[in-house]
């Protein structure tokens, strides 16, 4: 089984002033992440503004990031869709490009029942050969929750290797852990819940904050796994303000502003998202200075 590690970064997509994708900056940022705590770069998830990208832009980003982090980190491609047929086609194309795995979000807006969700992910997995599939449950964005019972059914499919859990429900994560084999990997989808989820059996995090504090997240997870619980708690509490600051408004608006404050030319977000306002910027500046990130 492919080991995607413990810190997976949901990478932002940099844009130029004219709104086009800045592939050069994407390559540099991916390399920077791989050198600073990121085990796997997740390209074109919602943090990467996938709803505002064309498939051709996404395929190009997969290729660019693969080349940039070769030998340093793995690449997971966001290939999810609320159309099963479209998700299959995108996943097959990403596999041909050479990505190491695919992130598959719960279909959004159309709110399929649990049996529909099972059939959706089953079809993608079966059409994807042996490409590892990571499920992604984020009901706050999709409008539908992937139940623990459905996850347990899906975990029986060989190439569905885990889940990014962003329901914010620790009881649900506990139930997933109880119902699935120990090899099935659970990743927190919320930076602020990484440590609590480790305590109920998660492996790591698909992180936004790792753009800024990837090495510290690795240290926290290593400390927890080594039985140094107080060390892990101290790191969690120290980083907690940046975890929250990065979500004071819709992701990825704050993390893009944070990277801009560090000097990265990542551009703004694409419409219908917008630029961070003065209050968001001030919040980020304050927290980042406190953590010596500026």
- CB contact at 8 A, 44 and 61: yes
Distance, CA of 240 to CA of 92 (rounded, Å) = 38
- Other C-beta atoms closer than 10 Å to the C-beta of 150 total 21
CA 82 to chain centre: 18
DSSP secondary structure string for all residues of 143-209: S----HHHHHHHTTSTTEEEEEE-S--HHHHHHHHHHS-TTSEEEESSGGGHHHHHHTT--EEEEST
DSSP secondary structure string for all residues of 211-267: HHHHHHHHHHHHHHHTT-HHHHHHHHHHHHHHHHHTTSSSTTHHHHHHHHHTT----
Positions annotated as catalytic residues are 136, 164
The angle, 0 to 180 degrees and rounded to 10, between the axes of the packed helices 278-290 and 229-245 is 160
Residue 94's SS3 state is helix
């Amino acid at each position: 089984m492919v080991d995607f590690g413990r810190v997976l970064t949901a990478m932002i997509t940099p844009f130029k002033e004219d709104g086009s994708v800045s592939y050069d900056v994407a390559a540099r940022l991916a390399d920077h992440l791989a050198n600073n705590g990121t085990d796997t770069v997740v390209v074109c998830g919602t943090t990467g503004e996938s709803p505002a990208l064309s498939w051709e832009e996404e395929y190009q980003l997969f290729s660019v990031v693969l080349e940039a982090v070769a030998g340093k980190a793995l690449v997971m491609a966001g290939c999810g869709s609320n159309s099963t047929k479209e998700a299959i086609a995108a996943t097959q194309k990403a596999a041909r490009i050479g990505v190491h795995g695919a992130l598959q979000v719960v279909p959004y807006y159309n709110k399929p029942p649990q049996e529909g969700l099972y059939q959706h992910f089953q079809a993608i997995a079966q059409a994807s050969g042996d490409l590892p599939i990571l499920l992604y449950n984020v009901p706050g964005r999709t409008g539908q929750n992937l139940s623990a019972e459905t996850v347990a059914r899906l975990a029986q499919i060989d190439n569905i290797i885990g889940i990014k859990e962003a329901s914010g429900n620790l009881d649900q994560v506990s139930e997933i852990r109880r119902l699935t084999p120990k090899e099935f990997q659970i990743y927190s989808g919320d930076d602020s819940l990484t440590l609590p989820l480790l305590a109920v059996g998660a492996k790591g995090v698909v992180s936004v904050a790792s753009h800024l504090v990837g090495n510290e997240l690795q240290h926290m997870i290593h400390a927890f796994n080594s039985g140094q619980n107080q060390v892990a708690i101290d790191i969690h509490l120290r980083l907690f303000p940046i975890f929250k600051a990065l979500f004071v408004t819709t992701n990825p608006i704050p993390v893009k502003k944070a990277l801009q404050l560090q000097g990265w030319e990542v551009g703004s977000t694409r419409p219908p998202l917008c630029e961070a306002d003065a209050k968001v910027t001030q919040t980020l500046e304050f927290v980042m200075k406190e953590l010596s990130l500026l």
